[in-house]
Structure 1
Amino acid sequence: MVSSLTGLPMANASLLDEGTAAGEAMSLSFHNLKGKKTKYVVDTDLHPQTLNVIQSRATNLNVEIIQLPLSTNEGIDQLKEILSDVCGALVQYPATDGSLSVDNFQKVGELVHSNKGLFAMATDLLALTLLKSPAEFGADVALGTTQRFGVPFGYGGPHAAFFATNLKYLRKIPGRIVGLSKDRLGKPALRLALQTREQHIRREKATSNICTSQALLANMSAMYAVYHGPKGLKNIAARVYGYTTILADQIKNNSNHEISNGKWFDTLTVKLNGELADEILAKALKFNINLYKVDAETVSISFDETVNEQDLVSLVEVFTGNASFKFPEQLPTIAEGFIEN
């Protein structure tokens, strides 16, 4: 499933969470060049909790984490200036503010590859049912959490992470690799073919010191996908996009607030005009809706498959003051150019 959505031929089973998986992508990039290049570039639109884990992991490797706005031409120019010492780069797709500014992603990958580094993308499996795959941008690694596929929030965890890559890094990635073998009767059988990160196997050559995976939650996510199937997953994603777009249109047309991200899948970042974030949060809490406070004048809203019509009606009232909003008979369809861009 993960290989199909990311476009990369191999995926492990599984890692702890998205932050840990991102740390492993950084470590893989560093060790792939035998520690000769000590700078790792991450996009400024990376999830903050992911950035924190990467920075913690980088300390003991003596890797310097550099944040650049890689979705902008300015960020590309800054990357070129330090490229000779860069072992890899990581971008968030969609970004932490919900945006889909992907015009430079392929260029980032080409630049990093020209210096023998690795290009990684932290991404969302549900979004990938509609968006271009990381492989189409030239990514060497795709990673993220499978929480979107049937796993409860759990007040922050646990959530299984996925980690997909190319076959050439088979023996360098952390995690368990399941391979096809034969049983004693000669019939096809699946077995653990590689356990490269385990300290009890060739401890001195272990690729990682992280020995915890969320195998149960990975299986839950896999079964969620099996139950819904490719068409069902696309329908869920299209519904999430439709609900997000309805709210975005209401905010843009019927309030003084501004949508910061020009394109979106499931997340809107709203720059408030005339109201403070705490005021908006207090209004939303009356409907038992929890929003994310970015700063004093900015809030963020993320949708998933559990959002219903009443939730959307309530959110429209929170942001526009319109208590008589009627849910449209038909959801907005995927915007022209959304998949390509």
Structure 2
Amino acid sequence: MLSAERVAGLMDEDTAGIMVTNPNTLGLFEDNIRKVAEIVHARGGLVYCDGANMNAVMGVVRMGEIGIDAIHLNLHKTFSTPHGGGGPGAGPVCVKKHLEPFLPVPRVVRDGEAYDLEYNFPESIGKIHAFYGNFGVLIRAYSYILSMGRELKTASQHAVLSANYIREKLRDVLHLPYDRPCMHECVFTDKFQEPYKITTLDMAKRLIDYGFHPPTIYFPLVVHGAIMIEPTETESKENIDQFIATFRKITEEAKETPELLRNAPQVPKVRRMDEATAARKPCLVG
């Protein structure tokens, strides 16, 4: 979690600002973000926010009012667009009024009943190389936002509810490093499974045998043996309950038949990879 005192100690004449993710990668809301922003602004700095976790706060938090000067939106995480090779991906940047003069060109401006592209902004950083490349992705995200309207807030509420439901239903069988309500994702660890020499990776591989795509593991890096579960707003309660029941069964297997987990997955065509060899001797061609 962000410490206002530590930020104050680091902000000097050589520091341009701070980049934050809020909610953070632990799935927790940075409660003291306003205090942090005040410190940064008082010393001439800017606050830039990674909008990776906006899925938790749409229609709930006004980023500008909590001190954010600029934020990029990960459209594939929040606004229904493809990611990477299925894209191209896109991350539009939103800024407060005092940064508007520096935005790239061309800009879409209204000209009577029509729209035009305007280049005449002397303080602009210039043209972005991929301006035309991701246009379709931006339109798709904008269409999604228009179609959802006020229900965007409901989507965030469902995402937060689902994550906290999982958190409460698994907290007695998986270690919870931060015992407080989460936002759209909850982070567990494999601490309770250590006596049986079962790791986060073992449990993730075993989930595959039950037909579940494993959640993010070993991230964030500040949590040893991290298991990050992010159900999003789209999963039904039936699916979430099935996932919870399966994970609980896997923790029982860790105690009673740990070899099942160490040898998982067994159902898919492709079994567990030799990850050490893959890292040391990567095969980079077909």
- Please state which band the TM-score falls in when normalised by the shorter chain: 0.7 to 0.9
Structure 1 consecutive aligned stretches of length 4 or more whose deviation exceeds 6 Å? none
Deviation at 1:322, TM superposition (A): 8.4
SS at match of 1:288: coil
Provide, for residues 304-340 of structure 1, a one-character-per-residue CA deviation record: whole Å limited to 9, x for no partner.
Answer: 23323343123212432289xxxxxxxxxxxxxxxxx
Structure 2 Cα separation of the partners of residues 321 and 195 of structure 1: 63
Are positions 1:234 and 2:153 aligned together?
Answer: yes
Note if contact 1:119-1:138 (Cα within 8 Å) is conserved in structure 2: yes
Note if contact 2:37-2:47 (Cα within 8 Å) is conserved in structure 1: yes
Structure 2 Cα separation of the partners of residues 262 and 194 of structure 1: 49
Deviation at 1:177, TM superposition (A): 2.6
Residues 1:158 and 1:311: Cα distance change in structure 2 (over 3 Å): farther
SS at match of 2:143: helix
Aligned residue number for residue 259 of structure 2 = none
Note if contact 2:56-2:160 (Cα within 8 Å) is conserved in structure 1: no
Deviation at 1:248, TM superposition (A): 0.5
Q: Return the TM-score normalized by structure 2.
A: 0.72
Identity of aligned residues (%): 17
Residue from 33, 48, 57 that aligns with 1:120: 48
Counterpart mapping for 1:184-199 below 5 A: 188-194=113-119
Q: Which sits farther off after the overlay, 268-277 or 167-176? A: 167-176
Aligned residue number for residue 223 of structure 1 = 143
Q: In structure 1, what residue type is equivalent to 2:114? A: A
Aligned residue number for residue 60 of structure 2 = 131
Q: In structure 1, what residue type is equivalent to 2:50? A: A
Q: In structure 2, what residue type is equivalent to 1:249? A: E
Structure 1 Cα separation of the partners of residues 179 and 163 of structure 2: 12
Aligned residue number for residue 169 of structure 2 = 250
SS at match of 2:149: helix
Provide, for residues 224-253 of structure 1, a one-character-per-residue CA deviation record: whole Å limited to 9, x for no partner.
Answer: 1111211x212222222221111011112x
Higher relative contact order (CA 8 A, sep 6+): 1
Residue from 177, 181, 200 that aligns with 1:277: 200
Provide, for residues 280-302 of structure 1, a one-character-per-residue CA deviation record: whole Å limited to 9, x for no partner.
Answer: 20122222322111166221111
Residue from 263, 288, 308 that aligns with 2:181: 263
Q: Which sits farther off after the overlay, 268-277 or 302-311? A: 302-311
Deviation at 1:277, TM superposition (A): 0.6
Q: In structure 2, what residue type is equivalent to 1:221? A: A
Note if contact 2:159-2:232 (Cα within 8 Å) is conserved in structure 1: yes
Note if contact 1:97-1:261 (Cα within 8 Å) is conserved in structure 2: no
Residues 1:227 and 1:130: Cα distance change in structure 2 (over 3 Å): closer
Aligned residue number for residue 71 of structure 2 = 142
Aligned residue number for residue 212 of structure 1 = 130
Are positions 1:88 and 2:17 aligned together?
Answer: yes
Aligned residue number for residue 284 of structure 2 = none
Residues 1:95 and 1:156: Cα distance change in structure 2 (over 3 Å): farther
Note if contact 1:283-1:318 (Cα within 8 Å) is conserved in structure 2: no
Structure 2 Cα separation of the partners of residues 175 and 284 of structure 1: 48
Deviation at 1:90, TM superposition (A): 1.0
Are positions 1:304 and 2:232 aligned together?
Answer: yes
Q: In structure 2, what residue type is equivalent to 1:78? A: G
Structure showing greater radius of gyration is 2
Provide, for residues 253-276 of structure 1, a one-character-per-residue CA deviation record: whole Å limited to 9, x for no partner.
Answer: x31421536332211111222141
Note if contact 1:144-1:161 (Cα within 8 Å) is conserved in structure 2: yes
RMSD, aligned α-carbons: 2.8
Q: Which runs of 5+ in 2 are unaligned?
A: 252-286
Residues 1:310 and 1:86: Cα distance change in structure 2 (over 3 Å): same
Residues 1:265 and 1:318: Cα distance change in structure 2 (over 3 Å): same
Structure 2 Cα separation of the partners of residues 195 and 263 of structure 1: 48
Note if contact 2:200-2:227 (Cα within 8 Å) is conserved in structure 1: yes
Note if contact 1:101-1:263 (Cα within 8 Å) is conserved in structure 2: no
